[in-house]
Amino acid sequence: MSKLFFDHLIVLSEVDRKIKSLAKSQEEKEELWGLIDEIVHHRVFDLILGKLPKEKHIEFMEMFHKCPNDEVYIMSYLEKATGENLGDYIKEEFKKFEKEILSELET
């Protein structure tokens, strides 16, 4: 089993549709999925650390390292530490990210 605490926040259906329409083999599809995965991971951490006070960065990283799958535990910690609904923030940022990727692919 492999689950990350932010999986439920990221839905890039149009990017997926694009990949599925272009990939000619399973290997190619999985390679492209993997590249999106890498971008998503870096973006999520970038967004979170950008909102968290610097003195809490390592505390969060330790929490993630210990239970990377636990969405309730980590998201409630983040909301308490930032005083913001980080879930909604990440969702909104990824809507923009999807548009950005799609428009780049059109150019």
Partner 1 sequence: MAHDPPGTTYKINKGKIDTEFLRNKLKLKSLEAKRSFQEKYPHAHKFLADRGVDLAKIRQHSAKVISAGALTGTLLLSPPVGIDIRAPLEISKNVDKPLQETFLGLLKSALPEKARPLLRTEEKSLEQVFQEVIGVKTKATLEGEHLNTTYGYIGAEQHLKRFAGDSMGVHPAVSEDDEGMAPGRGAWGYVPGDVEKWYAVVQTLYLPDWSIRQPYLRDWYKYRKVLIVNTKNGNAVVAAIADAGPAAWTGKHFGGGPEVMNYLGGPRYKKGPVVVFFVDDPENKVPLGPVEYNKVNVPILALRQV
Long-range contacts of residues 45-49, Cβ cutoff 8 Å, at least 24 apart: 47/86, 47/89, 47/90, 47/93, 48/78, 48/86, 48/90
CB count, 10 Å around CB of 6? 24
In the complex, minimum distance from the CB of residue 16 to partner 1, in angstroms, rounded to a whole number:
5
> Shortest approach of partner 1 to residue 102 CB, angstroms?
11
* Cβ atoms of 51 and 86 closer than 8 Å: yes
Spatial CA neighbour of 9 closest among 68, 74, 88: 88
**Is the CB of residue 35 less than 8 Å from the CB of residue 101?**
no
The footprint of partner 1 (CB under 8 A) covers 1-4, 7-8, 10-13, 16, 18-26, 28-33, 35-43, 45-46, 49-50, 57-58, 61-62, 65-74, 101, 104-105
> Given the complex with partner 1, which of 35 and 85 has the nearer CB atom?
35
For the CB of residue 10, give the shortest distance to partner 1 in the complex, in Å: 4
The residue among 28 and 84 lying less far from partner 1, judged by its C-beta, is: 28
Shortest CB 55 distance to partner 1, Å: 11
Q: Please say which residue, 24 or 96, places its beta carbon nearer to partner 1.
A: 24
